[in-house]
A and B are shown apart, each in its own frame.
Chain A
Amino acid sequence: DTAVSQTPKYLVTQMGNDKSIKCEQNLGHDTMYWYKQDSKKFLKIMFSYNNKELIINETVPNRFSPKSPDKAHLNLHINSLELGDSAVYFCASSQDRPGGRMTGNTIYFGEGSWLTVV
C-alpha cells in the first residue's frame, strides 16, 4: 500500500488553465505538506496543515490554494497557471507538526507530480 499517494503524476497544461493535484495519506498522520521542487532540485515548502488547520503558509502566490477536507487529504488547486509554475510538486505527511516535541519528525513524501506549463 502506498503511504502517500498523489495524482496525477504527470500534468501538461497550457498557460492560464486551472488545475488540481490530489493527495492522500494512509499513515494516520496529523500533518500534511505541499512542497515545490524546482529545476535546480531545491525543495521549498509551500503549505502545511495539521488536523485540517493551516499552520505554514509560505510566500506563495494566491493562485495556489490548498484544501484539506480531512486530515488524510490535502489537495492543491492552482489558478491561472504560469510558465514559472512548472516544477515537481510533492505532497508529504508527518506524525508530528513542524517544531513539535517529537525530535526528528520523519517526513514521508509522495512520488511527486510533474507539472509542465506550456
Chain B
Amino acid sequence: TQLLEQSPQFLSIQEGENLTVYCNSSSVFSSLQWYRQEPGEGPVLLVTVVTGGEVKKLKRLTFQFGDARKDSSLHITAAQPGDTGLYLCAGGGGNNRKLIWGLGTSLAVNP
C-alpha cells in the first residue's frame, strides 16, 4: 500500500520565521504535488515536481523533490499570516491510478 507521511502534523509559528514541511514515502512517484487548503475552501495546487532532485520556487516557498522521487519538502521563508492553512502533498503515478494524499500539515502563522 502506498502511503505519504507528512511532518509535522501541526505547526504554529510567529510571523517572520522560517519553516520546513516534509512529505515522505517508501514508494516512488512519477510526480509530487503540493496543495494549500485555506479554511472553508478546497485545496489549491501550489506546485508540481516531476524530476528527481528538482527544486521549484514560488515567491517565498521552495519545493524540492527527492533524488529518488520518494520524498519532498516545502520550505517557507519569512512566513506571513497569509501562509496559514493546511498543506497537502499528493503523489501521482501510483500503480492503482489514484493520487495518493498525505495527511497534511496544519500551519498557523501568528502576527
Q: Which residues in A have some Cβ–Cβ distance to B below 8 Å?
A: 4, 40-45, 48, 55-56, 90, 92, 97-99, 103-112
Our pick among A42, A44, A104, A108 for the contact of B92 (Cβ within 8 Å) is A104
| Chain B interface bracket (under 10, 10 to 19, 20 to 34, 35 or more) | 20 to 34
B61 at interface, CB cutoff 8 A: no
Complex Cα gap A104–B37 (Å): 18
From A42, A97, A99, A106, B48 is in contact (CB under 8 Å) with A106
Q: Which of B41, B43, B45, B97 contacts A43 (CB 8 A)?
A: B43
Q: How far is the CA of A90 from the CA of B37 in the complex (A)?
A: 12
Complex: chain A residue closest to B98, CB-CB: A98
Query: Which of B11-19, B20-28, B70-78, B101-109 faces chain A?
Result: B101-109
Q: Roughly how many angstroms separate A104 CA and B47 CA in the complex, as a whole number?
A: 9
Q: Are A109 and B86 in contact (CB-based, < 8 A)?
A: no
Tell me which residues across on chain B come within 8 A of A43, comparing CB atoms: 43, 88, 101, 104
| 28 A/B residue pairs, CB under 8 Å, sorted by A | A40-B103, A41-B37, A41-B104, A42-B103, A43-B88, A43-B104, A44-B101, A45-B98, A45-B101, A55-B97, A90-B42, A92-B42, A98-B97, A98-B98, A99-B92, A99-B93, A103-B48, A103-B50, A103-B93, A104-B31, A104-B48, A104-B49, A104-B92, A106-B33, A109-B42, A111-B40, A111-B41, A112-B40
Q: How far is the CB of A61 from chain B (nearest CB, A)?
A: 19
Helix, strand, loop or mixed for chain A's interface?
Answer: loop
- Using A43-B101, A109-B44 as known contacts, say yes or no to A103 and B92 having CB atoms under 8 A apart: yes
Chain B contact residues, CB within 8 Å of chain A: 30-31, 33, 35, 37, 40-45, 48-50, 86, 88, 90, 92-94, 96-99, 101, 103-104, 106
**Complex contacts, A41 vs chain B, CB 8 Å:** 37, 86, 103-104, 106
Q: Give the chain A neighbours of B90 by CB distance below 8 A.
A: 107
Roughly how many angstroms separate A41 CA and B104 CA in the complex, as a whole number?
A: 7
B2–chain A nearest beta-carbon distance, Å: 12
| Contact of B98 (CB < 8 Å), options: A56, A104, A108 | A56
Contacts of A105 in B (CB 8 A): 92, 99
